[in-house]
Structure 1
Amino acid sequence: MAGNALRPGNPPVASLAQATSPYLRQHADNPVHWQQWTTEALAEAAARDVPILLSIGYAACHWCHVMAHESFADDQVAAAMNADFVCIKVDREERPDLDAVYMTATVALTGQGGWPMTCFLTPDGRPFFCGTYYPKANFLELLAAVADTWRQRRDEVERASDDIAGELAAMVSGLPGGGPALEPVVCDRAVAAVLADEDVARGGFGNAPKFPPSALLEALLRHVERTADAGALATVERALGAMARGGIYDQLAGGFARYSVDASWVVPHFEKMLYDNALLLRVYAHWARRSAEPLARKVADETATFLLRDLGAGGMFTSSLDADADGVEGLTYAWTPAQLWEVLGDDDGAWAARVFGVTDAGTFEHGGSVLQLRENPDSASRFARARTMLLAARLGRAQPTRDDKVVTAWNGFAITALAEASVALDRPELLDAAIHCARAVLELHVVDGRLRRASLGARVGESAAILEDHAALATGLLVLNQLTGDPDWLTAATGLLDLALDHFADPDREGRWFDTADDAERLMVRPSDPLDGATPSGASSITEALQLAAHLTGSERYGAAARASLAAATPILAKMPRSGGHWLAVAEAAVRGPLQIAVACDPTDSELLVAARRLAPGGAMVVGGALDSSELLRGRDRIGGRDAAYVCRGNVCDLPVTTAEDLAAALVAPV
């Protein structure tokens, strides 16, 4: 039990200062002897015969910063950690596989999870005690208690860790396999169950805290396109409108915070994540495409601009903006009436206070208010001038730091959203940004024919990509293929899908997917979570990509895999549809055919192709080009010298049409 095996001054095996994660680098100067998760670190724990203290968080996490300041930067706490543990720090965004395994254990043991996650493990990685944030005094007591238990009651620790490991293995093996074939009624019942859970008064679903249900709203929009369900459309518009007008949306600079701490979308948890904004851009752009509501276009426009302006770097997109500035959450964003008057003057300041809901009592801490926009301003020009002046003043405040890590999956979401928004908003520069991003990710993140998870500063990390990385990037590339007609995007996408089928599909259970590859690092259990959360699950994302690729290539291998995945997901849609938002979106596209529109034309100069892209609902496929230029255009040519659109639902096709009006009518025909 050599507590001094790693003496102060000895460098850790894997230095955090050299990590490709800004979160790990934030802890490089701690007095704690942090190491990265490596075989050497686990071997050291075995050699010293001490437990592993595993701390998992991410750069934009407020409570991670709090615990770092209170405990990890404290010499007394660090001494206790270094003496009795091998301390390992993990970025959950860089190693989602580790996060998934130990978050499952944490929730199983405590009934809840969150970050920072604090787990105590045996040297071979089995957890025996887990929690989240601990104040310094409590953490010191916990360290002493765990160290004493390890030394004095090792048999109890071993039994507990064996029990937990067994329960985790049973939970993974119990995930659903194949279910009944997908039928429209499955989607209809899932939508009815979702609508019954709506918070009609405040928009969205459930109580505080409230997370943006982006995938679920996209699914409801696709359901509306299929069924013309007015109730579902109203639910979508209430949620999107409430979020757009609430404090969760940055009323000055655009972009959404991660979630609202209250049920009315007023006070956000201020971190801004790439994945949230990409997924929300997609759904707001689709709302703008089908609606005359000015708010839809405004928010989609501003969110796209936020991505390019604030998260863009080297052609790709960085991970997040911090919740804190100078260690204070929300410092950048909150306003008092006096601060508005100081910037705008008395008259305009008082007017802006009414428009943005800024009061003397405040909606946030210390009398500050988070800006909202519950009603449209009575003067657009006055509003624009006030926003410009307030944003300029806000830029003079302390600003949140940015996590510059580039995550493959989240960039895949951004590629898809920007490409689709370029059509909905008629902003071709968004398609250019999506193309540049895709090229940069493929150039940097594909190493020796295999995809990596993340990079930092143009240096790719060692962590292997997981299922969601392959799926989200493939989907984005398939969207680019449709919009550009460039076959290279299709080739790159199918390469990723082939890798996914070869390395992530469960060979023993049809339709089931693992989140890590069969040749990835072997953990205590192999993660396999089909449920959608803040981001779509890897399983639902790969199903979307396979479904698109099946029709764009004619591959029965992809089609069979997509059908098997959807069959495996029907229990989720039947029993817990709110945890299957992206599954429902993919299912809605599937039961509609999925919808395919092939336009025989010169793709560089075709009004009919432009109309097809504008009219196509989410989940539809649109290609344009000459006869036989793609799978969907085989045997399909212009008619009488005019561009012709061929509309198919699955393997059933309508007669071709040559006008935008006839195409619109064909797309709303009952199925």
Structure 2
Amino acid sequence: MNRLADATSPYLQQHADNPVDWWEWGDEAFAAARERDVPILLSVGYAACHWCHVMAHESFEDAGLAEYLNERFVAVKVDREERPDVDAVYMEAVQAATGQGGWPMTVFLTPEGEPFYFGTYFPPQPRHGLPSFRQVLEGVFDAWQGRREEVAEVAGRIVRELSGRGGVYAGLAAADVPGAETLRQALAGLGREFDERNGGFGGAPKFPPSMVLEFLLRHHAATGSQAALDLVERTCAAMARGGIHDQLGGGFARYSVDARWVVPHFEKMLYDNALLLRVYLHLWRATGSPLARRVAEGTADFLLRELRTPEGGFASALDADSAGPDGRHHEGVFYVWTPEQLVSALGEEDGRRAAERYGVTPQGTFEEGASVLQWPGEEEPDAADEELRARLFADRELRPRPARDEKVVAAWNGLAVAALAEAGALLDRPDLVDAAVVAAALLLSVHRDEKGRLLRTSRDGQPGRNAGVAEDYGDVAEGLLTLHGVTGDARWLDAAGELLDVVLTRFTDEESGALYDTAADAEQLIRRPQDPTDNAAPSGWTAAAAALLSYAALTDSERHRSAAERALTVVTPLAGQAPRFIGWGLAAAQALVDGPRKVALAGAPDDPATIGLRRAALSGTAPGLVVAVAGPDQPLVNGSPAAYVCRGFVCEAPVTDPMWLAEGLGAVPGSSDE
């Protein structure tokens, strides 16, 4: 066993028995490189990464290659989900140098942490224009020994270039606060990039555009734009009926390798499913779509069934690979079917019917004649379809399961808390609200240090040692604020305020209002990472800005609203340039333009009349709507619970009828049909 045996990261522990003498990222590894006067091999990946597994099996498990590597390098292994800051800094260098990025990420550093050679996956033998990993090691070490001055010059230039980029986003943050015209430009840009044939945006590989869909739903609610709603409905329907959606067990894979949503990259991530649960829930709330409700409930059930940990948090991911009939691991084998497998599970007649319903053909849509299950028809499943689905699901449960990354990430659990709390309230599922409460309590008890600062991860109820980054603070605050609105419990609001105070004091640039990814007192890397653009989940910048705005609406805090407005100025230039990559910022900007609106409820929390008003408020589609407990200056009306709707520090006359309240907040049939 090497030094990774005691790591908290499941990804690092996957490499604990490699013959490579791995180190974790830290001062000790860099000190060892300086003492030995050798370069550092930095290898970055994550537990559910298919090609990370491939490179591990091909290269890191090779004893001869490991011997060569150990003699000439200090090898450092990083879980990008534990250290998104390390990943972001060096991925920027990889993309700048090669024009592309991905995982596994392979970077060679000086003992001072300066990068000088880059790549991603390297094969064991030269192929497809790539050198073998052994050739890369030999070339890098020869350069280190024989051309040290050249290496130093390259490393210094790269660091200077990266450092010079540090002010780019701060400059963008000097723009105007986004207004209605900014959001119209974003809609127009998204319309131009929309895939008219298949839904979604761009071509293959195609990722679920969760944050953009959230913006479009808010824009429709605020303006009545049918164009915005059309983009959402077509994309959500295409994803729901495609192979990216697990037709048997619910939940979504990370992305589709094709433009038609047919064949996924089979890993299933917590952040995707939390975000998509909320999107489908909000689509149902806006339209009453049976498909949207079915998918939302199925995704919520998937989260509780397959990602919930014994401590009540949510694990990071399910692996793409699992053991096949030959005993070897293959990508997707847990999820795909042949016609013969359907007949074996269901019998001849039902097997043929299932093949027709789920698009399973003799030719297959995946590998070796297997098919990813889809739902080609536009009709919703009937009772007979549900019976087939249940039988297939039970048969699939007998297969060897994909591994689960047990690591609990604060940010992604914050997204799950928000999604489950809202889903529980709107779908009349108290079990979902209960799950959100337990997860939130775990975050506040395990993921905070003695100073109240967030920790990025935990595992088996034990906190990790890495500090939380901006996305952790923003997403956890988002979850706590949403949970406060659903339950009325003030402890969630208070805890969110404490986290956002850290955002204001440790992550915010006082001069520009820009937000950094890491705290001012965090470990110093070759540059302080800062990026407002969304990737697969909200960026730290936009997550924090959105939470600041919601907190300001709940508490009438001018300080938090001003900070949110300054942070959201970055949306103004990016909305026209790259709207697909600033979706969470656009959603927050739409809330800002709308007010956002606050519903303050006066009345005992357990009074049925108060409960009815709370449900009506939560059913509202107004962008960024928040629900709060009324202050003492907002009394009952003729002894009855009442709702005070406030917008821009001005409150309307109190409402006591839930139907009037729902109508005034844009509620529609999807959320008031029970």
Counterpart of 2:488 in structure 1 is: 485
The structure-2 alpha-carbon separation of the partners of 1:320 and 1:452, relative to structure 1 and needing over 3 Å to count, comes to same
Q: Does 1:129 align with 2:117?
A: yes
Question: Number of aligned pairs?
Answer: 649
Q: 1:353 pairs with 355, 361, 385, which one?
A: 355
Q: 1:117 pairs with 105, 110, 117, which one?
A: 105
Q: Which whole-Å deviations, capped at 9, do the CAs of 1:249-273 have from their partners, x for residues lacking one?
A: 0000001000000000000000000
How far did residue 379 of structure 1 move? 6.6
Counterpart of 1:451 in structure 2 is: 454
Query: Per the alignment, in what secondary structure is the counterpart of residue 623 of structure 1?
Result: strand
The structure-2 alpha-carbon separation of the partners of 1:402 and 1:379, relative to structure 1 and needing over 3 Å to count, comes to closer
Q: Does 1:72 align with 2:60?
A: yes
Q: Does 1:253 align with 2:249?
A: yes
Counterpart of 2:134 in structure 1 is: 140
Q: Distance in 2 between matches of 1:372 and 1:467?
A: 37
Amino acid corresponding to residue 544 of structure 1 in structure 2 = A
Task: Percent identity, please.
Answer: 52
Q: 1:613 pairs with 610, 614, 618, which one?
A: 618
Amino acid corresponding to residue 216 of structure 1 in structure 2 = V
The structure-2 alpha-carbon separation of the partners of 1:558 and 1:372, relative to structure 1 and needing over 3 Å to count, comes to same
The structure-2 alpha-carbon separation of the partners of 1:518 and 1:74, relative to structure 1 and needing over 3 Å to count, comes to same
Query: 1:178 touches 1:565 (CA, 8 Å); kept in 2?
Result: no
Amino acid corresponding to residue 645 of structure 2 in structure 1 = V
Q: Distance in 2 between matches of 1:372 and 1:619?
A: 34
Query: Per the alignment, in what secondary structure is the counterpart of residue 420 of structure 2?
Result: helix
Query: Per the alignment, in what secondary structure is the counterpart of residue 644 of structure 2?
Result: strand
Instruction: Give 1:4-15 correspondences, 5 Å limit.
Output: 15=3
Query: 2:144 touches 2:151 (CA, 8 Å); kept in 1?
Result: yes
Q: Does 1:323 align with 2:320?
A: yes
Q: Distance in 2 between matches of 1:68 and 1:100?
A: 22
Counterpart of 1:276 in structure 2 is: 272
Q: 1:460 pairs with 460, 463, 467, which one?
A: 463
Query: 2:474 touches 2:543 (CA, 8 Å); kept in 1?
Result: yes
Amino acid corresponding to residue 480 of structure 2 in structure 1 = L
Counterpart of 1:154 in structure 2 is: 148
Greater alpha carbon shift after TM alignment, 422-431 vs 585-594: 422-431
Counterpart of 1:242 in structure 2 is: 238
Q: Which whole-Å deviations, capped at 9, do the CAs of 1:445-500 have from their partners, x for residues lacking one?
A: 11112211001112211111101111111111111222222221111111111111
Counterpart of 1:639 in structure 2 is: 637
The structure-2 alpha-carbon separation of the partners of 1:379 and 1:400, relative to structure 1 and needing over 3 Å to count, comes to closer
Q: Does 1:229 align with 2:221?
A: no
Query: 1:200 touches 1:235 (CA, 8 Å); kept in 2?
Result: no
How far did residue 377 of structure 1 move? 6.1
Query: 2:617 touches 2:665 (CA, 8 Å); kept in 1?
Result: no
Query: Per the alignment, in what secondary structure is the counterpart of residue 366 of structure 1?
Result: coil
Q: Distance in 2 between matches of 1:495 and 1:661?
A: 35
Counterpart of 2:648 in structure 1 is: 650
Counterpart of 2:424 in structure 1 is: 422
Instruction: Give 1:167-206 correspondences, 5 Å limit.
Output: 167-175=161-169, 176-206=172-202
Query: 2:469 touches 2:517 (CA, 8 Å); kept in 1?
Result: yes
Instruction: Give 1:491-570 correspondences, 5 Å limit.
Output: 491-507=494-510, 509-570=511-572
How far did residue 600 of structure 1 move? 2.5
Q: Distance in 2 between matches of 1:97 and 1:520?
A: 10
Q: Distance in 2 between matches of 1:266 and 1:85?
A: 42
How far did residue 518 of structure 1 move? 1.0
Amino acid corresponding to residue 570 of structure 1 in structure 2 = T
Q: 2:413 pairs with 411, 414, 422, which one?
A: 411
Q: 1:593 pairs with 592, 595, 600, which one?
A: 595
Q: Distance in 1 between matches of 2:301 and 2:569?
A: 38
Amino acid corresponding to residue 319 of structure 1 in structure 2 = S
How far did residue 664 of structure 1 move? 3.5
Amino acid corresponding to residue 555 of structure 1 in structure 2 = S
Counterpart of 1:663 in structure 2 is: 661
Counterpart of 2:9 in structure 1 is: 21
How far did residue 598 of structure 1 move? 2.0
How far did residue 84 of structure 1 move? 1.0
How far did residue 501 of structure 1 move? 1.1
How far did residue 424 of structure 1 move? 2.2
How far did residue 589 of structure 1 move? 0.7
Amino acid corresponding to residue 490 of structure 1 in structure 2 = L
Q: Distance in 1 between matches of 2:338 and 2:573?
A: 49
Query: 2:616 touches 2:658 (CA, 8 Å); kept in 1?
Result: yes
How far did residue 378 of structure 1 move? 8.2
Greater alpha carbon shift after TM alignment, 417-426 vs 223-232: 417-426
How far did residue 506 of structure 1 move? 1.4
Q: Distance in 1 between matches of 2:524 and 2:365?
A: 48
Q: Distance in 2 between matches of 1:666 and 1:339?
A: 53
Query: 2:20 touches 2:67 (CA, 8 Å); kept in 1?
Result: yes
Amino acid corresponding to residue 69 of structure 2 in structure 1 = M
Query: 1:413 touches 1:473 (CA, 8 Å); kept in 2?
Result: yes
Query: 2:39 touches 2:144 (CA, 8 Å); kept in 1?
Result: yes
The structure-2 alpha-carbon separation of the partners of 1:242 and 1:511, relative to structure 1 and needing over 3 Å to count, comes to same
Counterpart of 2:375 in structure 1 is: 373
How far did residue 81 of structure 1 move? 1.0
Q: Which whole-Å deviations, capped at 9, do the CAs of 1:558-605 have from their partners, x for residues lacking one?
A: 111011111233111232111100000000111001011223233322
Q: Distance in 2 between matches of 1:612 and 1:486?
A: 16
Query: 1:411 touches 1:473 (CA, 8 Å); kept in 2?
Result: yes
Counterpart of 2:211 in structure 1 is: 215
Amino acid corresponding to residue 118 of structure 1 in structure 2 = T
Counterpart of 2:38 in structure 1 is: 50
Q: Does 1:469 align with 2:467?
A: no
Counterpart of 1:107 in structure 2 is: 95
The structure-2 alpha-carbon separation of the partners of 1:53 and 1:378, relative to structure 1 and needing over 3 Å to count, comes to closer
Q: Distance in 2 between matches of 1:608 and 1:543?
A: 28
Query: Per the alignment, in what secondary structure is the counterpart of residue 527 of structure 1?
Result: coil
Q: TM-score of the superposition, structure 1-length normalised?
A: 0.95
The structure-2 alpha-carbon separation of the partners of 1:216 and 1:98, relative to structure 1 and needing over 3 Å to count, comes to same
Amino acid corresponding to residue 149 of structure 1 in structure 2 = A
Instruction: Give 1:276-355 correspondences, 5 Å limit.
Output: 276-313=272-309, 314-326=311-323, 327-355=329-357
Q: 2:400 pairs with 398, 401, 426, which one?
A: 398
Query: 1:596 touches 1:650 (CA, 8 Å); kept in 2?
Result: no
How far did residue 376 of structure 1 move? 5.0
Amino acid corresponding to residue 61 of structure 1 in structure 2 = C
Counterpart of 1:5 in structure 2 is: none
Q: TM-score of the superposition, structure 2-length normalised?
A: 0.94
Query: Per the alignment, in what secondary structure is the counterpart of residue 645 of structure 1?
Result: strand
How far did residue 653 of structure 1 move? 3.3
How far did residue 248 of structure 1 move? 0.3
Query: 1:59 touches 1:322 (CA, 8 Å); kept in 2?
Result: yes
Amino acid corresponding to residue 51 of structure 2 in structure 1 = W
Counterpart of 2:158 in structure 1 is: 164
Query: Per the alignment, in what secondary structure is the counterpart of residue 619 of structure 2?
Result: helix
The structure-2 alpha-carbon separation of the partners of 1:372 and 1:598, relative to structure 1 and needing over 3 Å to count, comes to same
Q: Distance in 2 between matches of 1:28 and 1:359?
A: 42
Q: Distance in 2 between matches of 1:373 and 1:99?
A: 37
Amino acid corresponding to residue 573 of structure 1 in structure 2 = A
Query: 2:45 touches 2:103 (CA, 8 Å); kept in 1?
Result: yes
Amino acid corresponding to residue 613 of structure 2 in structure 1 = L
Greater alpha carbon shift after TM alignment, 468-477 vs 372-381: 372-381
Amino acid corresponding to residue 645 of structure 1 in structure 2 = A
**Could you list the runs of 5+ residues in structure 2 that have no partner in the other structure?**
126-131, 324-328, 668-674
Q: 1:434 pairs with 419, 433, 436, which one?
A: 436
Q: Distance in 2 between matches of 1:543 and 1:610?
A: 26
How far did residue 192 of structure 1 move? 1.5
Q: Which whole-Å deviations, capped at 9, do the CAs of 1:200-239 have from their partners, x for residues lacking one?
A: 2101000000000001000100000000101110110000
How far did residue 618 of structure 1 move? 4.8
Amino acid corresponding to residue 247 of structure 2 in structure 1 = Q
